[in-house]
Chains A and B, each alone.
Chain A
Amino acid sequence: MRLLERPITAVKFLVSYLRDPQSKTYYPEEERKSRMGICLDNFRWMFRHFEINHFYYLYGFDRKQCVNQDDYLPKRVFDKLLTRANSPAFVGGRRASYVYLLQDKFVFGKYLEALGFPTPKLIAICDRDSITWLDTQQTMPLESILEREGLDAFIKGLLGMCAEGVYPVRVRNGKLYLNEEQMTIESLKTMLKNKCIVQERVSQHSKLKQLYPDSVNTIRLATAINDGEVVPLSAVIRTGVNGQRCDNWTAGGIAIGIDLATGRLRKYGVFKPGYGGKVERHPDTGVKFEGFEIPYFDRVVGLAASLHHFFYGVHSIAWDIAVTESGPVFIEGNNRWGMATLQTCSSEFKKKFLNTHSF
């Protein structure tokens, strides 16, 4: 049954892919392949890599301009290599899994704090019933959150991924607000599924506010360990759109490539397939991407490389880094990360990634 399902999915996908190539392309201004060409390309990709290429248009493979598909890593291969590389590591002849240091937001925050790397301050750890305030080391009922006048923080699920289970909360005049809307402690309790952290809100650099002010626009920088040295692989910045408070690409945000050498943005920003194509300016603020300089970018790369040395058991990490007026702040590190935007924005991604491995 599953064997039958897969070709049906593939055919469905191909039909939808070919139905209106014009609306799907990221390069409408360029000369593009015929439907037959696109169809053959996708068949070839499927036969070679045993996967549907969901990023065919994103990578610009539909253009007639010579784009070598061999320069791109298929998702399935990448996922396999990443899982293998980041699986339990041998340190001094003993095997241990280190990815938990990245997965658990509380542990990640505390570890960075101890190492002296900038990260948003952890205020408390909580669940539906109780909250442990880290300043007083006291565990109290969750209701005690209302006594923290002026609290301006994010509540995040301990192992949450892709901005899920993240709630911006404020306490003003003894009342609790979620996204500026007043809420009761009871509704907060129903939202919290399990253990969460309460983390201070980060205020981004004024220059990044110009790019898009409603979300904290974070840099996604991938680094990998190669022979004891940490090398940066690729970097993008993500911004929200249409008043969204979240910069997540999978939730409709834009990803714009960053030149690792100069810290300046590349010409185009891209949406996830299904949300839009490519843009040269931010659709809300009108800020032009090309040449836009990311503040403190040198420090971002330098600090990420130094920090990765303390995650010696994890081969490659995608860091989410906010930039504040005083410098970079590490929001999180990911051991399982998507390469679509990083590969789209850096032609050398595949080469660099494979060079860091001894597969």
Chain B
Amino acid sequence: MRLLKRAATAAEFLYSHLKNPSSHTYYPYDRRKSNLGIYFDNIRWMMRYGEINHFYYLYGLDRKDGRNFDDYLALRTFRRLRDRANLVMEIEGRKANCTCLLRDKFVFGKYLESLGFPTPEVIALCDRRSIMWLDTQKTEPFESLMRRDRINVFIKELLGECADGVYSVRTENEKLYLNERQVTIEELRKTIKDKCIIQERIYQHQMMNELYPHSVNTIRLVTAICGKEIIPLGAIIRMGVNGQCCDNLASGGVSAPIDLETGRLGKEGLFRPAFGRRTTHHPDTGVAFGNFQIPYFADAVQMAIRLHGFFYGIHSIGWDIAITNDRPAFIEGNDNWEIPTFQAYDRHFKKKFLAVLPKGRL
């Protein structure tokens, strides 16, 4: 039954992929393969890697420019390699899984605070019933949120991923706003599912506001342990679009590559396949990506490298870094970062990643 389902999904995908290749392509002005060529490419990918290549057009594999399949890591293979290196740390024969340091937002915030790295302050830990305020170390009913002066925060689920379970909450004149919509405390209580953190809001650098002002546009920087060193593998910036307050690519945001040496953006940004194609300017603000300088980028890279030194049990980490007016701030770290966008921008990314994998993990 499961096999049948998988075959049906694959057939559906192939059909949708081939229905109108022109509408899928990221490179409409380049010479492209025929329908049959695309069809064979996708069948070959499936046979080789046992997965559907959802990023076929994103990688530009439909072009006739001689792009090689082998330059790209299949998502399934990548995840297996990444997890094998990230999920188990071994010291003197003892194994430990250190990923809770990154996955739990409360633990992450507190760990960084104690190490002296900039991160938004965690104000409280809460669930539907109560809030533990960290300044007073007192647990009070959930309603105590309204008794605090001018709350302007994010409430985030403890183990939430991909901006899922993140709520913008503020109080003004004794009124409560959830994602800028006035709500009652009961409505807010129903919205949150389980344990959450209450975290101060970050205000981004003026230059990042110029790029797109409605979301905090974060840098995704990947660092990896390579022998005794920690090196940056790649960096992109994510921005919201269409008034969205979230910069997440999976929610329709746009990304642009960052040159690790100079901190300048590349010429072209990309949307995820379901949301758009390529763009040289931000669709809302019209700001050109090419040569846009990210402020404090060198500091962000140096800090991430130093910080990764304290996450010695995790081989590679995708850091989400906001840039404030005076410095970078670490929003989160991800052991389960994804490769497609990095590969789409950098044909050599696969090589770079495989080169830093610990021996015996390939």
Contact = CB atoms under 8 A, between A and B. Distances in A.
Given A107-B101, A111-B114, A309 B194 contact: no
B158 A92 contact: yes
A12 interface: no
A250 to B, nearest CB: 18
Given A91-B104, A91-B195, A114-B114, A309 B96 contact: no
B227 interface: no
Given A96-B104, A113-B114, A114-B110, A312 B195 contact: yes
Interface residues of B, number: 38
Given A91-B159, A158-B91, A100 B194 contact: no
A101 interface: yes
Contacts of B91: 157-159, 194-195
B113 A96 contact: no
A320 B279 CA distance: 58
Name the residue among B96, B100, B106, B125 with the largest chain A CB count within 10 angstroms.
Answer: B100
B115 interface: yes
B309 A93 contact: no
B97 A97 contact: yes
A196 B119 CA distance: 26
Contacts of A157: 91-92
B37 to A, nearest CB: 41
B159 A96 contact: yes
B156 to A, nearest CB: 10
A101 B110 contact: no
A134 B62 CA distance: 52
Interface string A186-206: 000000011100000000000
B193 interface: yes
B107 A111 contact: yes
A103 B110 contact: no
A74 interface: no
Contacts of A97: 97, 99-100
Given A94-B159, A195-B91, A100 B101 contact: yes
A106 B98 CA distance: 12
B264 interface: no
Contacts of B196: 92
B2 interface: no
A104 interface: yes
B103 interface: yes
A116 interface: yes
Interface string A80-116: 0000000000011110111111011011001101111
A309 B132 contact: yes
Contacts of B97: 97, 100
B111 interface: yes
A173 interface: no
B87 to A, nearest CB: 10
B116 A137 contact: yes
Contacts of A139: 309
Interface in B224-282: 228
Nearest to B98: A100
A129 B227 CA distance: 14
Nearest to B125: A310
A189 to B, nearest CB: 16
B101 A91 contact: no
Interface of B: 91-92, 94, 96-101, 103-104, 106-107, 110-111, 113-116, 125, 132, 137, 157-161, 165, 193-196, 228, 306, 309-310, 312-313
27 contacts: A91-B158, A91-B194, A91-B195, A92-B158, A92-B159, A92-B160, A92-B194, A93-B193, A93-B194, A96-B103, A98-B104, A100-B98, A100-B99, A100-B101, A100-B313, A103-B94, A103-B96, A104-B313, A106-B310, A107-B98, A110-B115, A114-B110, A114-B114, A139-B309, A194-B91, A194-B92, A195-B91
Given A93-B193, A100-B99, A159-B92, 20 more contacts: A92-B157, A92-B193, A93-B194, A94-B159, A94-B161, A99-B96, A101-B107, A107-B101, A110-B115, A111-B111, A113-B114, A114-B113, A129-B228, A132-B309, A137-B116, A137-B306, A157-B92, A158-B91, A195-B91, A310-B125
Complex A-B, nearest 8 residue pairs according to Cβ-Cβ distance, in ascending order: A92-B194, A114-B114, A94-B159, A114-B110, A110-B114, A113-B114, A159-B94, A114-B113
